[in-house]
Amino acid sequence: MDLSQQDWADQLKADTNAVVLDVRTEDECSEGMIPNAINIDIYKGQGFIYAVEELDKAKNYYVYCRAGSRSAQACHIMNQLGFDHTYNLEGGFMQWKGEVDFPKE
């Protein structure tokens, strides 16, 4: 499900069963990440699928990428793998106005 930046942030804040998933590349993550996000690069293809299959399907996943299209694709893949609650951040990290963490070197 696509959510606007505001709806995504509001719903995430209220969700006690949430996992934030960043599907960008490692290089992109070095530009900053939404706090507490885990990174699984969708460009890793089958590796992405293997990593996602390790995740808890009972959680709610808030997925983002740079602009919103890779994360929409990731949500679609996750839904096919049996994840019922995936939320795509429309506009992606480029339009994110919330808090940002920078990965430690």
DSSP classification of residue 7: H
Query: Distance between CA atoms of 32 and 15, rounded to whole angstroms?
Result: 22
The dihedral over CA atoms of 98, 90, 25, 63, expressed in degrees to the nearest 10, equals 80
Other CB atoms within 10 Å distance of the CB of residue 37:
20
Six token digits for residue 75 = 């949500």
Q: Which of these is catalytic: 21, 65, 72, 74?
A: 65
Does residue 75 have an active-site annotation? no
- Positions marked catalytic: 65
